[in-house]
């Protein structure tokens, strides 16, 4: 057997999802009998069978990546509930295994995957999708690249032909639920559980109460900027028009083109005569937070 084949077969066995008792599965992801497959690949020793030796690595692999996903998506875990999140995470990681040297990228495909698998979210599907999008944006914003910011002195008179870019780490989200507030609450609950004597219990009382409260919430369209300041990530609610202008700037439009788009927007809530002062206020805030840079 060639080394590459041996490595691939061992990896398949290790990465096969655990059974309901968190033990090694009876069959590999390819449908082979696990005991026979492992026996052909690994030798036993004087204390453990070949299957028991591999099970140590399989359990370590799965516990590590499941814990990592839980740490990265505490809000989604609170929306779905602990057991439903565990089932979802196993299915996602089976279909979308880690392809990176860093655990940071483990959830990169989760929002798209979740959109195609409503069977794991049930009635909370839209809420769960919004939370997954926010939490992945949080990860990308935390360590995303940054360019030299334009300061207020660079934007004293933002004329209609001015084109500016947005920081690469800035994320803009149009959401259907107030998941920014939910995520903060879920993170606080997670931190409290980790410091309690019951921190090793799946889904404490506070987490279960959050799940119930989140699911009772009615839809509320919001616009959120996920941004970074001094190595911390923040969520800032935006007016709809403010969000649209930022999206237009990100797409490469000039200020004048972005404003023309707003003036032709039938759903706009800002009177045309007040738009100029609003834009000046937005640009002052954006430059103060370091969101703007040269294209």
User: What is the three-class DSSP state of 154?
Assistant: helix
Quote the pLDDT of residue 71.
94
Q: Is the pTM of this model over 0.85?
A: yes
Task: Compute the distance between CA of residue 49 and CA of residue 52 in angstroms, rounded to an integer.
Answer: 5
What is Dmax (Cα atoms) for the chain? 84
Q: What is the CA radius of gyration of the chain?
A: 24
User: What is the three-class DSSP state of 44?
Assistant: coil
Give the domain ranges of the chain. 146-177+219-295
Tokens 């599907």 map to which residue? 125
Per-residue tens of pLDDT for the chain, all 295 residues:
889 999 999 998 999 999 988 899 999 877 899 999 999 999 999 999 999 999 999 999 999 999 999 999 999 999 999 999 999 999 999 999 988 899 999 999 999 999 999 999 999 999 999 999 999 999 999 999 999 998 777 776 667 788 899 999 999 999 999 999 999 999 888 777 776 644 444 455 566 788 888 888 899 999 999 999 988 999 999 999 999 999 999 999 998 898 888 877 665 667 777 777 888 889 889 999 999 998 8
Quote the pLDDT of residue 195.
64
Quote the pLDDT of residue 117.
97
User: What is the three-class DSSP state of 150?
Assistant: coil
Per-residue pLDDT of 124-153, as tens digits, reads: 999 999 999 999 999 999 999 999 998 777
């Amino acid at each position: 057997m060639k080394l590459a084949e041996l490595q691939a077969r061992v990896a398949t066995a290790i990465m096969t999802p655990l059974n309901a008792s968190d033990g090694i599965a009876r069959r590999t992801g390819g449908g082979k009998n696990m005991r026979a497959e492992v026996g052909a690949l690994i030798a036993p020793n004087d204390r453990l069978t070949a299957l028991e030796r591999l099970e140590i690595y399989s359990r370590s692999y799965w516990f590590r990546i499941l814990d990592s996903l839980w740490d990265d998506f505490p809000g989604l875990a609170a929306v779905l509930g602990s057991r439903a999140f565990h089932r979802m995470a196993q299915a996602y990681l089976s279909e979308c295994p880690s392809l990176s040297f860093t655990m940071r990228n483990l959830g990169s495909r989760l929002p798209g995957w979740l959109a195609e698998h409503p069977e794991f979210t049930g009635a909370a599907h839209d809420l769960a999708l919004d939370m997954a999008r926010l939490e992945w944006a949080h990860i990308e914003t935390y360590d995303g690249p940054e360019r030299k910011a334009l300061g207020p002195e660079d934007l004293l008179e933002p004329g209609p032909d001015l084109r500016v870019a947005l920081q690469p780490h800035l994320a803009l989200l149009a959401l259907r639920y107030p998941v920014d507030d939910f995520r903060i609450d879920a993170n606080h609950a997670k931190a409290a559980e980790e410091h309690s004597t019951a921190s090793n219990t799946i889904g404490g009382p506070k987490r279960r109460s959050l799940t119930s409260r989140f699911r009772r919430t009615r839809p509320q369209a919001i616009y959120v900027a996920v941004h970074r300041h001094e190595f911390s990530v923040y969520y800032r609610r935006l007016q709809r028009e403010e969000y649209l202008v930022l999206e237009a700037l990100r797409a490469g439009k000039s200020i004048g083109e972005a404003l023309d788009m707003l003036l032709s927007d039938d759903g706009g809530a800002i009177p045309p005569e007040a738009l100029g002062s609003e834009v000046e206020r937005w640009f002052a805030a954006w430059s103060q937070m370091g969101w703007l840079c040269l294209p």
